[in-house]
Structure formats: structure tokens, C-alpha cells
Amino acid sequence: EPEVTQTPSHQVTQMGQEVILRCVPISNHLYFYWYRQILGQKVEFLVSFYNNEISEKSEIFDDQFSVERPDGSNFTLKIRSTKLEDSAMYFCASGTSGTNEQFFGPGTRLTVL
């Protein structure tokens, strides 16, 4: 069964450093998303991406964040200058047309020190 994959599973970084989180969505999916979940809190939407552009972003997704689909398979989330409060689990999700069912990857646990 096809699934969303994410790398790395855990990333530890120093405050102010740049990180890139990588995702490979399900191959025939058209809609791509990043969500995050701070420990003990709910899953929050960050950004959606369709047809090679951002379709929606939340207020969390400020100028420090960017997304890219550099080739036909990868979907990346970059945080330019990490803050302590960026520590969270980051989930990539993808979905196809005709339904809003979204399938999540296993997540990247980001720890900012």
C-alpha cells in the first residue's frame, strides 16, 4: 500500500539554524500539506500546496517558513532560522482530487536547542 515517507525521523538543531524537512508524498496525489503538533497539543495546519504553488497558509507559516517541490517526488519544508518554539512533530500529508482524505507521513520530530 503506498504511503507518505518523511526524513529525517528526528532532527536536532541549534536555535537560529536552518533546517529542511523532507517528504515523499503518495505518487498520484496532487495536494500536499504540512502540519505540526507540539507535544501534548493538537495537530495544526501550516500550509497546503497544489499545482506548484501555495494554496493556503496559516498564520504560523511566517516568512521563516518556505515549501518547495523541487522535483516530481519530493516536497520540502524549510525553516530558515529556527526558534525554540519551533520544536514539534512535523507531519507531511498528501491527498488526491475528489476527496479530502489526507494521508500522513510518520513525521519528523524537530528539537531546537
- Residues engaged in binding other proteins (CB under 8 A): 30-31, 33, 35, 41-45, 48, 50, 55-56, 58, 89, 91, 95-107, 109
The DSSP line for 29-93 is --EEEEEEE-TTS--EEEEEEETTEEEEE-TT--TTEEEE--SSS-EEEEESS--GGG-EEEEEE
Instruction: Give the nearest distance from C-beta 41 to other proteins in angstroms.
Output: 7
Instruction: Give the nearest distance from C-beta 9 to other proteins in angstroms.
Output: 11
- For 56, 83, 93, the CA distances from 47, given in Å and listed in that order, are 6, 19, 10
Instruction: Give the nearest distance from C-beta 110 to other proteins in angstroms.
Output: 13
Nearer to other proteins, 17 or 104 (CB): 104
Nearer to other proteins, 55 or 81 (CB): 55
Nearer to other proteins, 41 or 73 (CB): 41
For residue 70, whether the previous peptide bond is cis, meaning omega lies within 30 degrees of 0, is no
